[in-house]
Amino acid sequence: MTDEVVAMRRHAMAVSSAGPAPSRQDLLERVETLGPAIAAGAAESDRLGKVPDLVQDGLVEAGLFRLLLPRGVGGAQVDPVTFAQVIEAVAKRDASAAWCLCQGNGCAMTAGYLKPDVAYEMFGKDTRAILAWGPGPGKAVAVDGGFRVTGNWAFASGGRHATWLGAHVPVHEGDGTPRLSAAGKPTIRTMLFPASAAPLKDIWKVVGLRGTGSDAYALNNVFVPSDYTVARDDPAERRDPGHLYCFPSGSLYASGFAGVALGTARALLDSFIALACEKTPRGYKHPLAQNAVIQSKIAQAEAQLGAARLYLMTSLEEIWRAVERTSTLTLAQRMQIRLQSTWAIHMAEGSATAPDRLTVTRQGALALVALNRPDKRNALDDRAIQALEACFATLPADVRAVVLHGLGAHFCAGLDLSEVGDRPIAAAIAHSRMWHHGFERIQFGPVPVIAVLHGAVIGGGLELAASCHIRVAERSAFYALPEGQRGIYVGGGASVRVSRLIGVARTMDMMLTGRTYGADDGMAIGLSQYVVEPGAGLAKGIELAALVATNAHLTNFAILQALPRIAESGHAEGLLTESLMAAIAQEDPEAKRRVEAFLTKRAPKVSET
């Protein structure tokens, strides 16, 4: 009787004597029992750069690092739905602990591909055994009885508590030539070795998930016996017949990390709801929970998160039942797992964060900034104003001009009136000043801004447009300052900027009577400099932005910063400021180069177009 047969019989006996596997409910109750300790250790986890020992001990003793381990070596060998739900439950208390738990369990699936005696040596004898690994460059050179392994790897989540480490490496022959498969592809094997052979190096300097301790490790010509290597997820090397091992580890990683996202989002929503019931913001009379906008957003987040979770868990259950019947996981089912897991992660993120108010794209030296609330006609709420200020305060140094436009049918319908609220006078003044600061970032920013206007350009939308330097209006654009009819007063700068564009009398007329101007009349009175046909505005805006982006940077700076101030100053002060700015600008090396090009007839002359 061969050693292999003896080992297989021992494995079968271990399974038969292991008793019934823990149920899903039993495992979730274990998490519930550990929940307070996991949550209490979250802050310490961030500080230590690893899951605290007390929490780690609890997870290990509850058998939660053995969920995907074969029954023959003392594992629970649970189904994918149970696995995802356990990870989700832990993530509600601490995302780092859940992440390490998911990673460690995914690695443990390797036991299903090892010889039974080796699997027992690694995982059966030591109930605290944990395997971790990460990506990185390396290689294994074949020698008698195994491989000599050299390389550097990183992001070994949970490695601070691991007893074993792994490395995925291409195999080379003794003469240095790559070992190829029958299909002519490089042979990749996973090398398993005691964690003591490769001390971890602290590289995990991050903001989130600090407790995962996803650090680095290295080997230099370390011998790894052949029996401690596997071809990861290769059916030809699979030794455990359980249905769980029909699934590649990637499918369980995807499902588990989706559980991390769902649990984290659930905890965030629960915390926010509790806060909303207690917190009354400064200047308001009622808690956030009584705000209709907050109620709507929470309802949408609940629906989004619940639908994503149901999709993931239901699909996993259906696929598991099919695999139990057929003992096969099809390619279509693998694709389905990846789809539903990725969708759950994105929806969990979306339920925990509001959509971006702006989208920013690059086109060479240009930045295209788009207002992104088309369902609200791009109405400006506090988050949008803050996003605009942050965007223009942090433009990359190589941006030379910006095109500002609105997604959907309108440029901007002004202030989001749902945010007007019942602010006291001091709070209302502060709110208006926030708008002023945001728009001043645009008007007195480092680069020219071209606004592309279409549809509604009213109230705060017109104030935003007026803070830009050039305005291109499509013929669909219309302008209004309806605040007078709504019982409020402009607060985003219209009294100053719009009055200076079209005069106090016209501004007063718009505010008192609600008068609107179309695109052509708007250009005639100074609300825009260009009018184009519907749909042509963005192209024209990009054309103009590309043109002004070729100007000398200091010249553009002078036009944006000095010209408005000169226009507002007294006659003598204005002329003096002009002289100073002209002297500064002409000393710019770029200006000198351009003048030289003109004098040597290498630059075109001005001509009528």
Assign 587 a pLDDT band (cuts: 50, 70, 90): confident
3-state secondary structure of 258: helix
Q: Which two tokens stand for residue 344?
A: 């759950």
Residue 609 carries which DSSP code? -
Burial of 346 (0-12, 13-18, 19+ CB in 10 A): middle
Amino acid identity, position 484: G
Determine the average pLDDT of the residues in 380-405: 89
Looking from the CA of 272 toward its CB, the CA atoms found within 13 Å total 16
pLDDT surpasses 80 at 576: yes
Burial of 448 (0-12, 13-18, 19+ CB in 10 A): buried
| 555/552 Cα distance (integer angstroms) | 5
Confidence at residue 597, expressed as pLDDT on a 0 to 100 scale: 67
Chain centroid to CA 376: 24
463 is catalytic: yes
pLDDT surpasses 80 at 600: no
Confidence at residue 369, expressed as pLDDT on a 0 to 100 scale: 93
Residue 600 carries which DSSP code? T
Confidence at residue 598, expressed as pLDDT on a 0 to 100 scale: 62
- Which run of H or of E encompasses 170? strand 164-172
Q: Which two tokens stand for residue 216?
A: 């680095």
| 6/354 Cα distance (integer angstroms) | 59
pLDDT > 90 in the chain, percent: 69
pLDDT one-digit tens code per residue, 21-52: 899 999 999 999 999 999 999 999 999 999 99
Confidence at residue 495, expressed as pLDDT on a 0 to 100 scale: 93
pLDDT > 70 in the chain, percent: 92
Q: Which residues contact 557 (CB under 8 A, 6 or more apart)?
A: 446
Which of 271, 264, 276, 348 lies closest to 312 in space, CA to CA? 348
Q: Which residues contact 217 (CB under 8 A, 6 or more apart)?
A: 134, 152, 153, 154, 156, 159, 165, 198, 199, 200, 201
Determine the average pLDDT of the residues in 396-405: 93
| 587/578 Cα distance (integer angstroms) | 15
Annotated catalytic residue within 88, 389, 474, 483: 483
Q: Which sign does the torsion angle of CA 35, 38, 41, 46 carry? A: negative
pLDDT surpasses 90 at 140: yes
pLDDT surpasses 60 at 577: yes
| 102/387 Cα distance (integer angstroms) | 35
Are the C-beta atoms of residues 463 and 439 closer than 8 Å to each other? yes
Annotated catalytic residue within 463, 533, 578, 590: 463
440 is catalytic: no
Assign 602 a pLDDT band (cuts: 50, 70, 90): low
Q: In what order do the strands lie in the sheet containing 517-518?
A: 456-458, 478-480, 517-518
Confidence at residue 555, expressed as pLDDT on a 0 to 100 scale: 84
pTM: 0.64
Confidence at residue 439, expressed as pLDDT on a 0 to 100 scale: 94
Strands 401-406 and 366-371, by their bridges, are parallel
**Separation in Å, CA 457 to CA 24, 420, 469, 540:** 57, 19, 16, 18
pLDDT one-digit tens code per residue, 213-261: 999 999 999 999 999 999 999 999 999 999 999 999 999 999 999 999 9
3-state secondary structure of 155: strand
459 φ/ψ angles, rounded to the nearest 5 degrees: 55, -125
| 211/233 Cα distance (integer angstroms) | 28
Confidence at residue 134, expressed as pLDDT on a 0 to 100 scale: 96
**Separation in Å, CA 167 to CA 24, 175, 232, 482, 603:** 32, 21, 11, 66, 61
Q: State the greatest distance between any 2 C-alpha atoms of the chain, in Å, as a whole number.
A: 108
Are the C-beta atoms of residues 454 and 528 closer than 8 Å to each other? no
Residue 180 carries which DSSP code? B
